[in-house]
Amino acid sequence: MQRKTIQELTEAAKVSAIQAGYRKTGITNFSYTWNKLKVYAAEKGITHYSHGLGVDFLREHYGIIAFNGLTGHQHSRARAIELLNDVQNSGYVVSRRTKTGYVFPEVFQSVITEYIGTRENAEIVSRSIQTTKLYLVRFSDYLTAQGIKALSEVDMPVIEGFIRSLTVYGKPTINHTLRSVRGLMKYAYDAGFITADKSGLVPHVHYNRRARIPSAYTAEEISRLLATVDRNHPVGKRDHALLLLAARLGLRAGDICGLTFENIKWEENSIVIFQQKTQNMLALPLTEEVGMALVDYLKHGRPATECQCVLVKHVQPYDALNPSSTYTIVSRYFEKSGIPMPGGKKRGPHALRHSLASALLENGVPLPVISEVLGHTNTKATGVYLKIDIENLRKCAISVPFYAEKGKAVASYVED
């Protein structure tokens, strides 16, 4: 593919970002980074953009080596370069934002809508369907950008070009994206939208999901993280409760945000939810530490609101937090704590979940029990924690608090 000049590419990226619905403030931040890139390239006598140039610029100008564990400032700079790579590879900006309302190009709308309908009829969980929609939006947007007006026009070069546009993603995302595309192409043939089965054109991306070693922190590091929270401030009280729900109970970000008053069984000292990811019920002990943090927030920190979710935003209209906000909150405290985080180590709420699992494993808790605590549908998902180095596991031990007569203090909030 012919390389564009940096000026041409940044102009095309700006137009495409506007079309993709990026906010004006975001595009302004991207433009700031692009202007810095132009100066950097001019000093080196470079006029045409390449992926290598972008990598060198991020490393030398912002100290960014990997796209994992970035600060908010670094993420914005890296994202600006990713947009240039998108446009260089595929001709348009690839959307990375999950949409609530998906609009497919008109020429592909009928077949994609019918295909999604078959998955809904098969009672695929809602979250999986939403993800499939996102992947097919990217695929159909790519086809439109390439001038493709029917699935019958899709051939191997088109598929190869689409795969190149996905290089900014990890192997799991690429695998799931291509699986969605294969499913669509197979359905299009079976339903008579196209006369040839082109699903075979879409390759399989092989990766070992369980080969990834989870990011886990020691008990001392978790305590250090919690100690950075200002619990005298209303927002700090909320954040303290949020961190504990992830670190002590292992709740996922979506389940933390969706936690309602009905989920907290004060009299029974338990939290009972239907997990957003699996739709399975999960019952966990409401430990004294977690319970008292929730009481402190509800009594002395939570703003008055009709929202039924326990943890809310502290700006009007005081509605529920969203999962992306929990990552920002947890990441901010990790950064503030000064806990060492080598390249690639995660620092969001899922890392706290991993830390709990690793600690339970070191304490001799059997995998089936850990699987129950984490709400996994099978122990294979839990077995990944066995890959963490045993010496690191020895540093992760925490006492697993079981409660007895602790519920009375917590339940007293209900009587106030």
Active-site residue numbers? 252, 277, 350, 353, 376, 385
Distance in Å from the first CA to the final CA of the chain: 68
Phi first, then psi, for residue 172 (nearest 5°) are: -60, -45
Distance CA 247, CA 352 (A): 5
Distance CA 392, CA 331 (A): 22
**Contact between 367 and 384 (Cβ < 8 Å):** no
Beta bridge partners of 284: 271
Phi first, then psi, for residue 332 (nearest 5°) are: -60, -40
The amino acid at 83: L
Four-CA torsion 115, 119, 120, 121, nearest 10 degrees: 100
**Contact between 89 and 2 (Cβ < 8 Å):** no
User: What DSSP string runs through 66-106?
Assistant: SSSS--HHHHHHHHHHHHHHHHHHHSSPPP-SPPSS----H
